[in-house]
Amino acid sequence: MTTRPALRGHRMATGGGSGRAWSTRFLTSDVEVTDTRLVVRAADPDAELRLVTEVESLPGGSLRLRHTVINDGADRYLVEGLDVVVPCPDDHVESLDFTGRHERERTPQRRAITDGLWVREGRQGRPGLDAAGLLITGPAGFGFAGGALLGVHVAWSGNHLLRQERNGASATTIGGGEHLLTGEMELLAGESYSTPWVFVTATARGLDGLAAALHGWQRSLPTHPGVPPVTLNVWEAVYFDHDLARLKDIADRAARVGVQRFVLDDGWFHLRKDDLAGLGDWWVDPSTWPDGLTPLIEYVTSLGMEFGLWFEPEMVNPDSDLFRSHPEWILSVPGRLPLPHRNQVVLDLSRPEVVDHLFAQMDAVLSANDISYVKWDHNRDLLEAGSGTRGGAPAVHAHTLGYYALLDRLRAAHPRVAWESCASGGGRIDLGVLSRVQRVWTSDMTDALARQQIQRWTTQVAAPEYLGAHISAPTSHQTARTLPLAFRAATALFGAFGIEWDLSEADDDALDELTGWIERYRRFQPLLHGGRVTRIDSEDPAVLLHGVVAEDGREALIAHVQMDESVSNRGVRVRIPGLVDDETYQVCWEGPVDGRRLTDTPGVDPLGPTGGVPVTGRTLAATGLWIPRRRPQTVLLAHLTAVGPR
């Protein structure tokens, strides 16, 4: 083969002769098969290496694969890379992955598959705000509902890569694995290296079918969030200004509208008046909280809400007691700190003593207080991530394992605590972390208009019940755009619903409206967090169409989102897949409907998009619902319920 090898490495002889065993020929020695698992063992006696390949079938329909290479030789073997690679069908001529930035994560990008090697490397020590996320291939023009697709995802929260290759003699392959830094993985005699699990999903039902397979696996996990509580986070309400009376007032209003979890964000710990100091010193700051967090926690829980708290365990400010005591605990190369970013550097979690220290500090806070939820943040990349225990050599792999170990240890010690993965918003969303947490912070962008696209594409890998989706202030803190409450709430409805808004600024009418939306969310939770995500192609680029269809096809909630001004008065047809062809459905509006007629286009029928006339699933899939042009920044919700015989 003249394409990129899946295993890249060589022997490093003590007395010279490095570069041996750079080319391998593994011969199968054993195959083990069960109902859900395949294990293939192979060896290359000349290279003195063994290879174990594991394949597991998962609930939902995906496979996950990983390789383990074992060094049977006396000399060290340097693993430069080990990827899981699978072939693509010959009619797969396009591929899709994602890019992004802070407050604009998971922007899709497509390309034609051509000859050559295409590689996306994630070198940030976390998946990243620009993470590729998934690499998906399919026939020309594949979409949400159509196309036989193949997708791969690396379930790993550190450095990673995705790859796609074709040449003049070989068909297209795609795959991925961990991106290992120079010299990071040296195997001594008898040692082994295992790749992260790489998820491979094939579907005949387009992008929604691929997403459904991954969601099915997530919903089978023992760590699945179940029914996520309505969460209020006070970050955008108070930032670092922690005042007990003000927080109690917000808590009162939160309880009034039906919030179930109250989260205190950054600013509660030693020296933390801004983002310049304190990270690493995880004890309650007595100057801010002279009586500890107990007065606030007891007040919040007396109102019937859970209490949550923010941590950023992997980070440390140079202005902190921890840094002054242990400057050697920083990920860095010898002689200098990494370039400054956000006034913080990264602790070296490849060191067991660092993991032990962080566990002791966090365990003390969680044990001393009635805390049911932790928002775990991660706000900078792992630049120049060398470890002093390795002479400054790269340690991202070991650091990532240290992160998993710390999180797993805390989960075991505090089984009633729910965990959220946050990394400058959506910078650490992968199936490795999703198997350990109950929630992710989808993006630091809380503007609902921008959130529509972010949430639409994040559901490609994560089930909606994991995606923190909060109602922000009327005027966005990120964009300064002012949006109506109905639009903000209807956007949040399809994720793990919450609030990121200073409720002390909301009047009684707004609080009453918010109460209604929370009641609606809780009423639809079984559908929203148990059904199939449905994203519908729109004929109008100013309109987004999406929703959820029940697994049995007998209920659906569909959103028509008028993002901007339409260029025509044609309206859109909303064709809904996944219903039962011969079933009859009642179609009604759910929630507020602006019935005002726009110029030269009909108004919205108050009885629903079919005028109150039941229609069949076959008609809804083929002809669909016609929705007239609406005002920008408005959402119509259509609720479909089966009324005929099964």
User: d(Cα 545, Cα 534) in Å, to the nearest integer?
Assistant: 9
Is 83 annotated as catalytic? no
Between β-strands 49-57 and 261-264, what pairing exists: parallel, antiparallel or unpaired? unpaired
Q: How is residue 588 written in tokens?
A: 């009604």
User: Tokens 């697709």 appear where?
Assistant: 149
- Say which of 83, 266, 377, 381 is annotated catalytic: 377
Pairing of strands 467-472, 496-500: parallel
Question: How many CB atoms lie under 10 A from the CB of residue 582?
Answer: 11
Question: Catalytic: 97?
Answer: no
Closest to 377 in 3D by CA, of 420, 323, 340: 420
Which of 131, 136, 143 is CA-nearest to residue 199?
Answer: 136
Distances (CA, A) of 308 to 270, 281, 322: 18, 18, 24
Strands 496-500 and 231-233: parallel
Alpha carbon distance 23, 405 (integer Å): 34
292: left (phi over 0), alpha (psi -120 to 50) or beta: left
Residue 616, classified by CB atoms within 10 Å of its CB into exposed (0-12), middle (13-18) or buried (19+), is middle
Alpha carbons 31 and 69: distance in angstroms, whole number: 16
Q: What letter does residue 274 receive in the DSSP assignment? A: S
Q: Which of 406, 481, 506, 610 is nearest to 103 (CA)?
A: 481
Spatial CA neighbour of 535 closest among 525, 524, 548: 548
Task: Compute the distance between CA of residue 464 and CA of residue 487 in angstroms, rounded to an integer.
Answer: 18
Residue positions annotated with a catalytic role: 377, 444
